[in-house]
Structure formats: C-alpha cells, structure tokens
Amino acid sequence: MTPFSYRCTDCQRTYPRTAVRYLCPECGKGYRPGIPLVGVLEAVFDYAAIRREFDRERPDWNLFCAVEPEFHPPLPVGNTPLARADRLGAGLGVASLWIKNDGLNPSGSLKDRASFLVVAEARRLGIDLVVAASTGNAASALAAVCASTGTRALIFVPEKAPKAKLVQMVLYGAQVVPIQGTYDDAFALSLEYTAQRGGLNRNTAYHPLTIEGKKTAGLEIWAQLGYQVPEAIFVSVGDGVILGGVHKAFVDLQRAGLIDRLPRLIGVQAESSDAIHRYVQTGVYSDAVNPTTRADSISVTCPSNAHGARRAIQESRGLTLTVTDAEILEAQAQMAGQSGIFTEPAGAAALAGLVKLQAGPDRLVGSGPVVILATGHGLKDVEAPLSRISIPPAVPPVLDSLTL
Ligand SMILES: *Cc1c(COP(=O)(O)O)cnc(C)c1O
Ligand SMILES: [Zn+2]
C-alpha cells in the first residue's frame, strides 16, 4: 500500500485518512438527499512512491489500493477477462474491439469491486454492519462480500428490483428491506439509517472507496492491453460512479507518470434516465423526469456522482449519449450472438452507445483499442431479453419431425 489522504473534489481541501469518512466536512454541509452529492472525496496517493515501486513485470496493484491487504475479504473479486470482439468490431468499423467481462465477478457485476473495498474498510475500522441502498447489483455484491467475512449487510432496494438480484441478496444472508418507492428513496433512507443507528454506509460515491474499488476495472484494462491506454472506453452510466472510477484509474496512472494521456470516456445513459447526459450537454443539472428504463441498474432520477461524472467526461475529452430500451435490447442480443458474452441490459447499453456513435458524424476512426465495459451478467434479468425473443416450441423426439 502507498500512503494516501483524501481531497475534496469540490473545494480541494485535503484531509488525513483518519479525519473524514464520507463527504468533505465543509462542502458536505450543502448536501441533502435529492440533489447530486457535493464534497465527494477522492483518495490522493503518494504518486512518486508508486512511480518508484511499480514494476510492469511483477505489478503490485496494492500500490494503488486504499485499504491494507490484511483487511481484504477472502472472496476474490475483479481480474475479469478482457475478450477480443472481432466479429462485433468488424460490423462496427472498429479494428480493435474488446469487451471487459465484469459479469464474471462473484455476484455477477462490477459492483463487487466497490463492495470489496468498503467491506475491507469496515474491517479495518472494526465495524460489523455495512448498509447500502441499491438498484440491485450493489446490494447483491455487498451481500456476497459480507458473506465471505461474516460482516452484517443491511440493504434497502426498490421492491421492483429483478428477481434474481433479490434472490442473490437473500441467499447470501443479507438483511433485505424492499422499499415501496424508487432507488432514490432507498438512498435517502439508508443515509438516515447510518446517521442515526450506525453501521458503515456503502452508498455509491458517498463512501469514497466505492470509487476506488471501481477504479480497479480501469487499472486492469490498462494491464490487459499490454500497458496500453485504449482510445476509448464505453461505460454505461447510472449514478456515474463506474465512469468516475474508471477515470480515476487513468488519472492515478498519469499522476504516477506511468501513462501520458487519458482514454476518451464515452458515457452511455438510457433515454429516460439521462440526467448526466443533459448535465454534460448543457452545464445545468436537473433530475431525470421519469426513469422507466428496462436497464434497471442505470435507472436513476438523481445520480449521486453527477458532478464527478461530468468532470470525467470533460477531462478525458469524451462524450455522453443516450440510447433507447429497444437499442439496448438489440445490443444485448448482438453482443451475445457475436461475442458469446451475455450481459444484462445495463451492460449492453455501452455497446448500444458504440453502435449509435458509429452511425453518426462523431464515429471513432482511429485504430487504437476500444473497450466496452460489460458491467453485469445477463442471467441477472432474463425477463428483459424474453420480451424480444421466443423459445422454440418442443417437438417429438423423432428425426422426421425435424425440418433442420
Ligand atoms: C451500477 C451499474 C451500472 C452503472 O454504474 P453507476 O456507477 O451507477 O453509473 C451499470 N451497469 C451495471 C450492471 C450496474 O450494476
Ligand atoms: Zn470540500
């Protein structure tokens, strides 16, 4: 591990690691549930030490990690494969297309990365209860990681979360509280819970180590491409924390002098859940009006990391776009059928974004690697693709009945 402190992403004040837990004590005074977080903290490492000690032959990723290895949960998380997607790439005019298959994490989504680090932090602090609000995957992830350490998990989820995700959290042994309301309602309630009754809050971006955890996906992409910075990375965006985390990976690498440029980040939102997209376009923030998308993991009225996500897009000279549910489900089928990777609708949104970009004036023309982050496993929500496919009817087991 490398020493680090926290810095407020709004006022730039820095704090020793032990002095803060969630938001910047100053800027955080201006936060109330229902607006994007203000005073989000980022971990700032001793980058000179990282530069000195990082060895590409035997990379020690703990140099970039904000919790000591002795507290890490025993459940291995991350190190997911980066797959070449030549068939998909050929159809899209992308010479070097890759899919980072994060659905292969233990609970089936990239959220395991954030939960892993926050649970490690809870162990460091000697806290035995971790509390979270989630659209589904963060909760499944927290429940899984907590199961491996014996930490208690208390979870607030919208009652409409997909069945498989609810089954996961219950089976992993979490205390699950379905909320008659939206994800945003669950977010507010979980903050009230930890403020008044205790436990460590794992809410996305509210706990700064959620961003650090998600960062590991970006570090892996760099290493898996043979220590190359990709031309662009397509990321589906709900709260904007995966986007912020992947950005932080390359910012850390740049600060340590290990890379000299950032990849362009392309943030993809669902058309009905487009608060960050509009914020990037206009510079003025307003909530999504009625986020009804089938891609439940990116269905957010008020994205907690809206400010950080916008900065990530701007600093990386990236862009955002929106896609319809029909485009998402089409992309899901396309990815499955042309790469063998079955990702949930939110993961497929990233590919839908690439498809859309390649059909327009801003299409990618370079030959550098382009990465799609497939953020969650397709089996988490089989109802979604069933709306556009049909399972063939059964036939008698007689060769003559086959017309194939
Ligand atoms: C949470 C999630 C996202 C979006 O991540 P944010 O940090 O909320 O932007 C995308 N895909 C999947 C599968 C997720 O679980
Ligand atoms: Zn501040």
* pLDDT tens per residue, range 319-344: 999 999 999 999 999 999 999 999 99
Strands (E), 73-125: 82-84, 97-101
Q: How far is the CA of 298 from the centre of ligand 2 (A)?
A: 27
Q: How far is the CA of 18 from the centre of ligand 2 (A)?
A: 16
Say if 398 falls within a structural domain. no
Is residue 266 within 6 Å of ligand 1 at its C-beta? Answer: no
Signed CA dihedral, 377, 383, 389, 394: sign only: positive
Is residue 344 within 6 Å of ligand 1 at its C-beta? Answer: yes
- The ligand 1 atom at the shortest distance from the C-alpha of residue 242 is 7
Q: What's the pLDDT score for residue 404? A: 85
Say if 317 falls within a structural domain. yes
Q: Alpha helix locations (H) across 198-295?
A: 208-224, 241-255, 275-282
Q: What's the pLDDT score for residue 309? A: 98
- The ligand 1 atom at the shortest distance from the C-alpha of residue 205 is 7
- Tell me the C-alpha distance between 44 and 85, whole Å: 35
Closest CA to 184 of 214, 211, 158, 162: 158
Contact present, 223 and 194 (Cβ < 8 Å): no
Bridge partner list, 343: 377
- Tell me the C-alpha distance between 188 and 120, whole Å: 24
Q: What's the pLDDT score for residue 2? A: 82
Counting every residue written for the chain, the total comes to 404
- The ligand 1 atom at the shortest distance from the C-alpha of residue 376 is 13
Say if 313 falls within a structural domain. yes
Q: What's the pLDDT score for residue 403? A: 85
Is residue 347 within 6 Å of ligand 1 at its C-beta? Answer: yes
- Tell me the C-alpha distance between 343 and 383, whole Å: 13
Say if 370 falls within a structural domain. yes
Is residue 297 within 6 Å of ligand 1 at its C-beta? Answer: yes
Q: How many domains does the chain have?
A: 1
Strands (E), 103-211: 129-133, 152-158, 175-179, 200-201
A 10 A CB-CB count for 163 gives: 12
Q: What's the pLDDT score for residue 150? A: 98
Is residue 238 within 6 Å of ligand 1 at its C-beta? Answer: yes
User: CATH number for the domain including 359?
Assistant: 3.40.50.1100
Q: How far is the CA of 192 from the centre of ligand 1 (A)?
A: 23
Q: What's the pLDDT score for residue 332? A: 98
Say if 87 falls within a structural domain. yes
Is residue 237 within 6 Å of ligand 1 at its C-beta? Answer: yes
Q: What's the pLDDT score for residue 1? A: 77
Show the low-confidence residues of the chain (pLDDT under 50).
none
Is residue 346 within 6 Å of ligand 1 at its C-beta? Answer: yes
Is residue 247 within 6 Å of ligand 1 at its C-beta? Answer: no
* pTM of the complete model: 0.97
Is residue 134 within 6 Å of ligand 1 at its C-beta? Answer: no
Say if 7 falls within a structural domain. no
Contact present, 322 and 358 (Cβ < 8 Å): no
Query: Of the bound ligands, which one is closest to the alpha carbon of residue 299?
Result: 1
Is residue 343 within 6 Å of ligand 1 at its C-beta? Answer: no
Question: To test the ligand 1 pocket, which listed residue (101, 104, 107, 110) has its Cβ within 8 A of the most ligand atoms?
Answer: 110
Q: Tell me whether strands 200-201 and 129-133 are parallel, antiparallel or unpaired.
A: parallel
Q: Note the pLDDT tens digit of each residue in 150-159.
A: 999 999 998 8
Say if 129 falls within a structural domain. no
Q: Note the pLDDT tens digit of each residue in 44-93.
A: 999 999 999 999 999 999 999 999 999 999 999 999 999 999 999 999 99
Say if 32 falls within a structural domain. no
For residue 292, give its domain range.
82-106+211-386
- The ligand 1 atom at the shortest distance from the C-alpha of residue 204 is 7
Is residue 112 within 6 Å of ligand 1 at its C-beta? Answer: no
